[in-house]
């Protein structure tokens, strides 16, 4: 059975990605950390559309938790190949660096950057054996141009971008592509506190994006049509550049 693992798949962009990949025929493994109700809603949406999947609870920032949950799942499901991995889990702790606490830095770096490493390392082995795989990392406009108040988030996402380019060169000959998608301002719970009226004036298309528009880009990168694209960062930001 061909599977797609989406970390942070219970809400927002992650949920939209789960729905889109399910429509492509993948069995979806919906990872979540704590919001079980939202994760169940995502799974219910998949099943209501005729697709299937399951929930897998673990904290991507905790290597022992990743190994216990994801490692055990891989061992116990030898007939289910994780063909697509979407590293979507991430958090923000926005504050100017002069006031940033150690935990503000650590939590953001651990979730986005270390989480990418812990999860991808486990999943990669199966892809190498099968000589096929799609790894898609959700980064950010912040990781490309930097944004004030997001030194930690920008550093984390920029780190994942660098890792994306390096890993793509390591595994390309084994039929595995590694790419990143960098959303700009997307309508999710992470942006609901922002002043959309003022910010959209900076965006050439003059609006915030929808999670489904990010998911469509992820779906393309997961498809056979994108087999010659690797090590790339695709921006989904309405034309908003530095």
Which of these, 125, 111, 116, lies nearest to 160 by C-alpha position? 116
End-to-end Cα separation, the chain, in angstroms: 42
In angstroms, the CA 123 to CA 37 distance is: 26
Which of the residues 32, 153, 228, 241 is marked catalytic?
153
Contact in structure between 118 and 111 (CB atoms under 8 Å): no
Residue 125, Cβ density class (10 Å: 0-12 exposed, 13-18 middle, ≥19 buried): exposed
Q: Is 241 a catalytic residue?
A: no
What b/e readout covers 28-49, taking b as 16+ CB neighbours within 10 angstroms? bbbbbbeeeebbeebbeebeee
Write out the catalytic residue numbers.
153
């Amino acid at each position: 059975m061909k599977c797609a693992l989406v970390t942070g798949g219970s809400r927002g962009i992650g949920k939209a990605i789960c729905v889109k990949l399910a429509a492509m025929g993948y069995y979806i493994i919906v990872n979540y950390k704590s919001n079980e109700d939202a994760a169940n809603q995502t799974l219910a949406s998949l099943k209501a559309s005729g697709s299937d999947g399951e929930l897998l609870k673990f904290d991507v920032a905790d290597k022992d938790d990743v190994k216990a949950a994801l490692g055990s799942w891989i061992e116990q499901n030898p007939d289910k190949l994780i063909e697509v991995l979407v590293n979507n889990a991430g958090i923000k702790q926005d504050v100017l660096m002069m006031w940033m606490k150690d935990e503000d830095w650590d939590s953001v770096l651990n979730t986005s950057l270390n989480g990418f490493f812990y999860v991808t390392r486990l999943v990669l082995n199966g892809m190498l054996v099968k000589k096929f795989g799609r790894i898609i990392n959700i980064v950010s406009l912040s990781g490309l141009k930097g944004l004030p108040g997001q030194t930690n988030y920008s550093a984390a996402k920029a780190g994942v971008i660098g890792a994306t380019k390096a890993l793509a060169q390591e595994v390309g000959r084994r039929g595995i592509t590694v790419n990143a998608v960098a959303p700009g301002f997307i309508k999710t719970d992470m942006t609901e506190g922002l002043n959309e009226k003022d910010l959209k004036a900076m965006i050439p298309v003059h609006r915030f994006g929808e999670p489904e528009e990010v998911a469509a880009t992820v779906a393309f990168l997961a498809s056979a049509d994108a087999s010659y694209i690797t090590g790339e960062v695709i921006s989904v930001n309405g034309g908003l550049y530095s």
